[in-house]
Structure 1
Amino acid sequence: MIYLTPFNQEHFSVLKTWINETSSEEMIRWSGTTFTFPLTDRQLLEYNSEKDARIYMAMDENHIPCGHAALRKIDFSHRSARIGKLFVEPSFRGQGYTPIILHKLLCIAFEELHLHRVALGVFNNNIRAKRIYEQFGFKVEGVLRDYRFVEGTFWSLTEMSILKPEFTNTLRNL
């Protein structure tokens, strides 16, 4: 059983350890341009103070942090938001945690916040994540070609979104 709990300062050291033990390339894959490597408390304080966001730490059944995710740019007027910063701690990867965290985020977006549209951006070299988003019913809206120059290589970014009726239909098929 995985649950989401609001991200707070007590979680900063855990997230910094996860990210700072990877690489600047992994950090960009996770955060785009939001953060600079290495991740610091100052960056996380600013991030955690966003007024239009719901930021979470994912916890396993033993209350051990296993992931992180956020709904950002929540716009109640237009009933939309963006998923960002979805990260599963490396030792928990490959065990089905990403779909569970994604499902919980989408339930918050569509059932609790009553949003209509949720979007995200995924780098094209993150094939596993893109496949999971497609399984949930996300549709490709476009590709930003050669969007970021990372470690000597251009990365393209695929923009995707899901609407509430599409999510409801996907739930029936999962």
Structure 2
Amino acid sequence: MGNTSVFSQKKTDATLVANDTLKSNDIDPLTPAKAAFYSAIVPGLGQAYNKKYWKIPIVYGAIGVSMYYYIDSSQKYHQYRDAYKRRLEGYTDDEFSYLDNDRLISAQKFYQRNKDFSALFVVGFYVLNIIDANVDAALKQFNINENLSVKPDVHLNDVTFKANVGLTLNYNF
């Protein structure tokens, strides 16, 4: 095996050009923005752009479950509200005839609060989907190789024979 140089030189028209012979990873600064934009348009599309397909069911599961509880709480809120309005008009033939007015009011408050929390979770998971796509695309561009490593290390103290715990940072050239 001969010596491998990092740079090669070409001479063209009395100009010396140095070419990098190491493999360079091109960094596209717009990749995180594209991933975030795609996830903002269609949830999960940014994860597909990052080739993290296993995250797409998690995104749709989180947003879907939150949306289900929002719709369910909204329907139940309207049922209790309509029953209470009918009671105020003098009707007693609603589906909640076994509940008094105070219970109808507290049920309305309960389902209104659940509806609000569910809407907050839908928006939160949607935003988290966008942030995840952006951060994942940004982290994908970091140079990770074997030359840099952080390892836990335990040394025995020569005097006390107690363990000294620490981290070592190794960089190989």
Same fold by TM (over 0.5)? no
Relative CO higher for 1 or 2, CA cutoff 8 Å, sep ≥ 6? 2
Q: Which has the larger radius of gyration?
A: 2
Q: Report the TM-score when normalising by structure 2.
A: 0.19
